[in-house]
Amino acid sequence: MRKLVLLVFVAAAAILSEAPGRRLVAAAAFSAAPLTDMGAATYLGFAGGLYPGGNLMPIAHGVAGAARAASVTPLDANGNPSAGGKIVMVSIGMSNTTQEFCNQANPAACTSWSFVGQAAVDPAVNHATLVLVNGAASGKTAPFWISPALADYDRVRDSDLTPAGLTEKQVQIGWVKVANAGPTVSLPSASSDAYTLETQMGQIVRAMKARYPNLRLVYFSSRIYAGYATTMLNPEPYAYEYGFAVKWIVQAQIDQMANGGTIVDSRAGDLNYNAGAPWIGWGPYLWASGATARSDGLTWQPGDLQADGTHPSQAGQTKAGGLLLSFFKAEPTARPWFLAASPALSFHAASPCRVADTRNSAGPLGGPALSANGGRSFQIAGQCGVSPTAKAAAMNVTVTAPTAAGSLRLYPADSTPPATSTISYSAGQTRADNAVLGLGPAGDVGVHCDQNSGTVHVILDVVGWFE
């Protein structure tokens, strides 16, 4: 089969090279396919998708994440389980991170349009024991977080945790979004900044585990679109290529654990979640190719960015905050601790069983095929031996006979479809991937078809469930 290669278009731009104030005289126009929409195509020879083989988290990694999510419980100041304790989630990163998570002025009350501000007024969120702490701050790029001895961990402790009556021993979840200032080497070079960032992210999660001994879960996000950038702080293609760095650090842990705990990716270092690292996975994937809509409709318009084309405006902060909120409300490894009414889950393996196939006769678990820009829900709990009270399911998702290119988004049927596609495909292609998917209150999963026209068939095979 002929390998598809994505083309990246970079318009010529005059660049002033004086350090440190290098500026782009004209913004470079950059276009590429988001990782979530790449399908079988590649970028400079690098495969896309958030996880190995696609956008779905491998079942084994999802099961491990769910087990750690189940262990998240309110802790007292000494890190002991306590009904009166707290579950602390902390953000780690630079200016974009703090703007999207809370507010650039740190410490300060979070703005209403940020992730924390939106979560604060959402009745579905756990307001009883969950505390969202903004540790990220302006200028605090990746090098500021790579060692537990660095001053910014002390700053988070002294300026953010302690004033809130919290300790480092209560931190159990992290959201990390980091970058480097003034990158100069892009892919496919072996010395590219994407590879450098992968190494730094490995150092960061180990440093976080050293500072936060009860850290269970860390979610990574890469940068938003930077094709409108007017400075060399972090323009394209680096913002886009950081998505590959996140993909590689997550895959490094998946591969290491599948290899019996022996390191596979030396750039990432030791990510054994049974030893000195937390479990890591993707947070929301925030990048879209400017005004060109992603398969799920996400765009970044010039008005979503500030004048430097790098930092999000209030509109951009609102957009990113909403993506974060939607992600944590739907992600199976987050729902047990992020939502107000979502108990800890245990995994129950099952023999593979086909629960839905739209190629079959019309019915709740059969036809018709999914239509473009339409959706359906499929009952999983109570089918194929799955417990009627199951809260999530491990499934193999197959798409077949699509009449046009597109993607599907799968999600708990009670929630809004996530921004990131679950599986993408080209016309006539059959593709399959496996994942752990949350179920709605009725035990059903929603499937939304992002396709310009026509139809596609979907097949769901269940291999286990959580309750």
CATH number, position 443: 2.60.120
pLDDT at residue 34 in the model: 96
Strand ranges, E, within 194-234: 217-220
Mean pLDDT (whole number) for 178-193? 97
Asked whether residue 217 is domain-assigned, the answer is yes
Say yes or no: 165 and 260 in one domain: yes
Mean pLDDT (whole number) for 68-92? 96
Asked whether residue 86 is domain-assigned, the answer is yes
Query: Residue 256: what are its φ and ψ, rounded to 5°?
Result: -65, -45
Say yes or no: 212 and 303 in one domain: yes
Query: In this predicted structure, which of 55-59, 118-122, 220-224 has the lowest mean pLDDT?
Result: 55-59
- pLDDT tens-digit series, residues 300-333: 999 999 999 999 999 999 999 999 999 999 898 9
pLDDT at residue 108 in the model: 63
pLDDT at residue 103 in the model: 80
Asked whether residue 285 is domain-assigned, the answer is yes
Predicted confidence band of residue 105 (pLDDT cuts 50, 70, 90): low
Query: Residue 401: what are its φ and ψ, rounded to 5°?
Result: 55, 40
Q: Where are the alpha helices (DSSP H) in 104-212?
A: 115-120, 151-155, 193-211
Pull the structure tokens for residue 251: 């895959």
pTM of the model: 0.83
Query: In this predicted structure, which of 102-106, 144-148, 338-342, 425-429 has the lowest mean pLDDT?
Result: 102-106
Mean pLDDT (whole number) for 434-462? 93
- As a whole number of angstroms, the distance between CA 193 and CA 197 comes to 6
Domain with 115, as residue range(s), is 9-338
Say yes or no: 194 and 317 in one domain: yes
Q: Is 128 helix (H, G, I), strand (E, B) or coil?
A: coil
Asked whether residue 1 is domain-assigned, the answer is no
Asked whether residue 3 is domain-assigned, the answer is no
Average pLDDT, whole number, for the chain? 90
Predicted confidence band of residue 109 (pLDDT cuts 50, 70, 90): confident
Query: In this predicted structure, which of 3-7, 167-171, 243-247 has the lowest mean pLDDT?
Result: 3-7
Predicted confidence band of residue 295 (pLDDT cuts 50, 70, 90): confident
Pull the structure tokens for residue 69: 């999510």
Say yes or no: 330 and 356 in one domain: no
Predicted confidence band of residue 340 (pLDDT cuts 50, 70, 90): very high
CATH number, position 94: 3.40.50.1110
Instruction: Measure CA 246 to chain center.
Output: 9
Say yes or no: 194 and 245 in one domain: yes
Predicted confidence band of residue 345 (pLDDT cuts 50, 70, 90): confident
Say yes or no: 380 and 295 in one domain: no
- pLDDT tens-digit series, residues 151-163: 999 999 999 999 9
Q: What percent of the chain has pLDDT over 90?
A: 79
419 or 237, which is more confident? 237
Last residue of a domain, one of 308, 338, 368: 338
Last residue of a domain, one of 338, 367, 391: 338
Say yes or no: 188 and 209 in one domain: yes
Say yes or no: 102 and 158 in one domain: yes
Mean pLDDT (whole number) for 171-185? 97
* Residues across the chain: 467
Say yes or no: 324 and 421 in one domain: no
Say yes or no: 39 and 97 in one domain: yes
Last residue of a domain, one of 278, 308, 338: 338
Predicted confidence band of residue 139 (pLDDT cuts 50, 70, 90): very high
Q: How many domains does the chain have?
A: 2
Residue 293: count of CB within 10 angstroms of its CB: 12
Contacts of 244 (CB under 8 A, 6+ apart): 35, 43, 46, 187, 194
Say yes or no: 38 and 136 in one domain: yes
Asked whether residue 4 is domain-assigned, the answer is no
- As a whole number of angstroms, the distance between CA 83 and CA 128 comes to 10
Asked whether residue 2 is domain-assigned, the answer is no
pLDDT at residue 145 in the model: 98
Strands of 46-47's sheet in order across: 5-6, 42-43, 46-47
For residue 154, what are the CA distances in angstroms to 89, 157, 159, 167, 179? 16, 5, 8, 11, 20
pLDDT surpassing 80 at residue 41: yes
pLDDT at residue 106 in the model: 54
Contacts of 80 (CB under 8 A, 6+ apart): none
Query: Residue 254: what are its φ and ψ, rounded to 5°?
Result: -60, -45
Say yes or no: 263 and 355 in one domain: no
Q: Is 152 helix (H, G, I), strand (E, B) or coil?
A: helix
pLDDT surpassing 70 at residue 39: yes
Asked whether residue 282 is domain-assigned, the answer is yes
- As a whole number of angstroms, the distance between CA 45 and CA 7 comes to 11
Whether residue 244 contacts residue 35, with contact meaning beta carbons closer than 8 Å, is answered with yes
Predicted confidence band of residue 54 (pLDDT cuts 50, 70, 90): confident
Q: Which of 327, 320, 317, 313 is nearest to 286 (CA)?
A: 320
Query: In this predicted structure, which of 27-36, 271-280, 307-316, 441-450 has the lowest mean pLDDT?
Result: 27-36
| Beta-bridge partner residues of 279 | 217
pLDDT surpassing 70 at residue 58: yes
pLDDT at residue 184 in the model: 96
